[in-house]
Structure 1
Amino acid sequence: MNSSRHRLRIARTVAALPALALLIAVTGCSSADDGASVVVPTPDSKVTKLCQNLDKALPRKVDGLDRDDPGPRSALTAGWGSPAIILRCGVERPAKMLDPKVAHGDDPAAVGGRVNGVDWLMEKRDDGSYRFTTASRVTYVEFTLPTSLAEDRDSALVDLAPAIKKAIPVGIAD
């Protein structure tokens, strides 16, 4: 290989390093970082205010696990335990909410239900974890249960219901 081609490859590799560093920083990936990392929703100001109120009302413990919020810190996200139960407020409406198979109870991976006055869409994921999203509220709140906690799903729903009822009014999300 001639030296000018070799220098060009080195220059391209060096130029790609900032992009790789940014990717690692944005995704929160690090071999030394065991903390949870989530994508923070970006709702409008009205929904953000509701989510800030929810953050203040959330319990210190969910399913017996202490609150340990994920990074980046935000009033729109919360977490409990490790592996973490993750809550995100102000998320987009899940596509499954529009799926007629779900509405008719024909999708075993997604079902609706009500726990302590809060309506939920429950979706079982391929990895065995669950995602729950509020329904019939003026904004969507989702939380995910890791596979290791999926067996006792109802406890987390019961623990979160009072805060959601207090902070997120019943209604139709935009």
Structure 2
Amino acid sequence: MARELRVPKALTALPAPVRWLALPLALTCTVVVLVGSWGPADPKVEVPRPSGRAAEYCRSLAAALPAELLGQARRDPSPASPYVAAWGGSPRTVLRCGIDRPEELDGDHAADWSPSVDGVTWWSQKLADGGYRFVTTMRAAYVEVTVPAGAAQNPFDPAAALSGAVKANVPG
């Protein structure tokens, strides 16, 4: 015995072309919503591997970092690491603690602008994409703050805002 398919009366009242397109349209809308919610992939952030005292200082710094930086919520990259923190969406400000000493500190860029805030000196480097990289100097561990173009009104503001936490947790 063949089973009869029951169609709801609301659908039978619609013209045939609308009924035929209802399911493909619903599926298309669902796919568009799902793909749109995925957003851009999390850019790869290289995780430093400090050791000894530098690792201790970086873990201490990680615990002291703010949940919000200049109005941007903290959104750390995955997988989580005590040596990396990030704020904002796209573009986002990224802090890495325990990086190797940048080779550029010995090269042509060694004399680039190096402002000090709260006793923390930040060596600065303009990046090819228009953003900036700031690295602490004269500290027990190197701390890097990368500020992409458009992430802050003044590119130095994130590093300046983090100076107090760096000073309190990474000795000079």
Normalization by structure 2: what TM-score?
0.71
1:9-158 equivalence runs, <5 A: 33-82=40-89, 83-99=91-107, 101-103=108-110, 105=111, 110-149=112-151, 151-158=153-160
SS in 1 for 2:156: helix
Whichever of the two has the greater Rg, that structure is 2
Residue type of the alignment partner of 1:91: I
Question: CA RMSD for the aligned pairs?
Answer: 1.8
Query: Quick one: distance in 2 between partners of 1:50 and 1:160?
Result: 15
Task: Give the CA deviation at 1:32.
Answer: 5.7
Query: Quick one: distance in 1 between partners of 2:72 and 2:136?
Result: 21
Q: How many residues align?
A: 134
Query: Quick one: distance in 1 between partners of 2:96 and 2:141?
Result: 11
Q: Note closer, same or farther for the CA distance 1:72–1:158 as it changes in structure 2 (3 Å cut).
A: same
Percent identity reads 36
Task: Give the CA deviation at 1:37.
Answer: 3.1
SS in 1 for 2:150: helix
Query: Quick one: distance in 1 between partners of 2:56 and 2:45?
Result: 20
Task: Give the CA deviation at 1:72.
Answer: 1.9
Q: Could you give the per-residue CA deviations for residues 14-56 of structure 1, whole angstroms, max 9, x where no partner exists?
A: xxxxxxxxxxxxxxxxx86533431111111321111100000
Structure 2 contact 131–155 (Cα < 8 Å) conserved: no
SS in 2 for 1:156: helix
Task: Give the CA deviation at 1:119.
Answer: 0.3
Structure 1, gaps ≥5 residues long:
1-30
Task: Give the CA deviation at 1:155.
Answer: 2.2
Task: Give the CA deviation at 1:154.
Answer: 3.2
Structure 2, gaps ≥5 residues long:
1-37
Residue type of the alignment partner of 1:88: R
Q: In the alignment, which residue of structure 2 is the partner of 1:25? A: none
Structure 2 contact 92–151 (Cα < 8 Å) conserved: no
SS in 1 for 2:155: helix
